């Protein structure tokens, strides 16, 4: 019997490298990157800096390491960091911001993931013996827990005005920044222009197996390189990681629009199903989050029933299911997923 096809919508991190990436790994020119001698890493870092309109870049192992290295390179221990309350740094990075970087996170709520400049202004308190020194504002783009929402260049500019006025740095967790750029059909530099530094991931929708890049000024990247070393992230023949990254930057960005179209189609299908609700205004890139609270069942039961139909998904929070489209998910998978969701939801409604 042929094995059943699994449609894995848990994350775009599950994407496998393309044949071209595997070939690029096989043929990569290598050297010791701690000595700065890996030509493939050097080329990727130059390409990343150029694409983002910044001076320099640094290859790191993961998005989490990129955020931690960036937090530590932008601040001193004991300082205060303003960030969005649902941000990845605050929710999913094991508290590294405090445990390792020694910083005080100051979370601000927002409705769609974009910090309100007025809230940022209010969070920057005057100099006072009781208060930690504010050092950094962090934004996340696209915003994961808000459903892949885009923080627009105009919103970034408004936040940056407040940061600049108070002498704070502005950092962007741009794990999926190319999704934002493709969705708005603008150059990615529109999103990076007003931030001091940022990171983006190769290992998510760009299909690479490993890697993220920290991008900023020469001075910032020199500091980041040393901090990466402290964290054990100095790598040797890292060209095997950089080689697929070069393929990704050259070939994998434009196709993100397919993922966005698939996410839209999926959300439209889900919106017609009784018992589940989807906020279409949040379906802006490659994520679809929907609420199953009307079904009055445990999330695990819903996910396990879907799994029996060959569909993998995750919950973002109680009763909120997240599905992420990516390379390898085609239109027919979207139709199958909608059909499976209809079936599971109707079984649970009657059951």
Q: Is residue 142 left, alpha or beta, with left meaning phi > 0 and alpha meaning psi from -120 to 50? A: beta
Q: Kindly report the number of other CB atoms within 10 A of residue 236's CB atom.
A: 14
As measured in angstroms, the least distance from the Cβ of 306 to ligand TLP is 17
User: Tokens 């379906």 belong to which residue?
Assistant: 283
3-class DSSP state for residue 271?
Answer: helix
- Nearer residue to ligand TLP within complex by CB, 144 or 345: 144
- Nearer residue to ligand TLP within complex by CB, 206 or 295: 206
Residue 140 as a binder of ligand TLP (CB under 6 A): the answer is: yes
Residue 173 as a binder of ligand TLP (CB under 6 A): the answer is: yes
Q: What is the C-alpha to C-alpha distance for residues 30 and 35, in angstroms, rounded to an integer?
A: 12
Residue 88 as a binder of ligand TLP (CB under 6 A): the answer is: yes
Instruction: Convert residues 212-251 into a mask of x (bound to ligand TLP by CB under 6 A) and - (unbound).
Output: x---------------------------------------
Return the range that interacts with ligand TLP (CB under 6 A); candidates 19-27, 44-52, 57-65, 234-242: 57-65
As measured in angstroms, the least distance from the Cβ of 39 to ligand TLP is 25
Q: What is the C-alpha to C-alpha distance for residues 31 and 195, in angstroms, rounded to an integer?
A: 32
Residue 152 as a binder of ligand TLP (CB under 6 A): the answer is: no
At 316, give phi and psi (nearest 5°).
-85, -40
Residue 144 as a binder of ligand TLP (CB under 6 A): the answer is: yes
As measured in angstroms, the least distance from the Cβ of 70 to ligand TLP is 11
Which residues does 211 contact at the CB level (< 8 Å), separation at least 6? 59, 60, 61, 62, 201, 202, 203, 241, 242, 245
Distance of CA 266 to the CA centre of its chain: 20
Among 62, 149, 197, 284, binds ligand TLP (CB under 6 A): 62
As measured in angstroms, the least distance from the Cβ of 219 to ligand TLP is 24
Closest CB to ligand TLP: residue number: 63
Stated length of the chain? 351
């Amino acid at each position: 019997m042929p094995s059943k096809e699994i449609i894995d919508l848990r994350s775009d991190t599950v994407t496998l490298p393309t044949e071209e990436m595997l070939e690029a790994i096989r043929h990569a020119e290598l050297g010791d990157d701690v000595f700065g001698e890996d030509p493939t890493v050097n080329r990727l870092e130059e390409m990343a800096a150029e694409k983002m309109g910044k001076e320099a870049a640094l290859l790191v192992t993961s998005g989490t390491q990129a955020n931690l290295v960036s937090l530590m390179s932008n601040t001193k221990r004991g300082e205060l960091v303003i960030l969005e309350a649902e941000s990845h740094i605050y929710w999913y990075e094991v508290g590294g911001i405090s445990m390792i970087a020694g910083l005080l996170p100051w979370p601000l709520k927002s409705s769609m993931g974009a910090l309100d400049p007025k809230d940022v202004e209010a969070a920057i308190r005057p100099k006072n013996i009781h208060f930690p020194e504010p050092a950094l504002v962090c934004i996340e783009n696209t915003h994961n827990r808000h459903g892949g929402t885009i923080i627009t260049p105009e919103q970034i500019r408004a936040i940056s005005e407040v940061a600049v006025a108070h002498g704070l740095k502005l950092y962007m967790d741009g794990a999926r920044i190319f999704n934002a750029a493709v969705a708005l059909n603008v150059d990615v530099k529109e999103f990076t222009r007003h931030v001091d530094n940022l990171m983006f991931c190769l290992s998510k929708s760009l299909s690479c197996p490993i890697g993220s890049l920290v991008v900023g000024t020469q001075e910032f990247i020199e500091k980041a390189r040393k901090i990466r070393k402290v964290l054990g992230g100095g790598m040797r023949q890292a060209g095997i990681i950089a080689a697929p990254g070069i393929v990704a930057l050259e070939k994998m960005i434009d196709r993100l629009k397919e993922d966005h179209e698939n996410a839209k189609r999926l959300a439209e299908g889900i919106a017609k199903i009784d018992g589940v609700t989807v906020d279409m205004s949040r379906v802006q890139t490659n994520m679809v989050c929907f609420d199953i609270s009307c079904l009055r069942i445990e999330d695990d039961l819903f996910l396990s029933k879907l799994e029996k139909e060959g569909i993998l998904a995750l919950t973002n929070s109680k009763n909120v299911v997240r599905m992420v489209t990516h390379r390898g998910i085609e239109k027919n998978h979207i139709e199958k997923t909608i059909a499976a969701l209809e079936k599971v939801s109707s079984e649970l409604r009657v059951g």
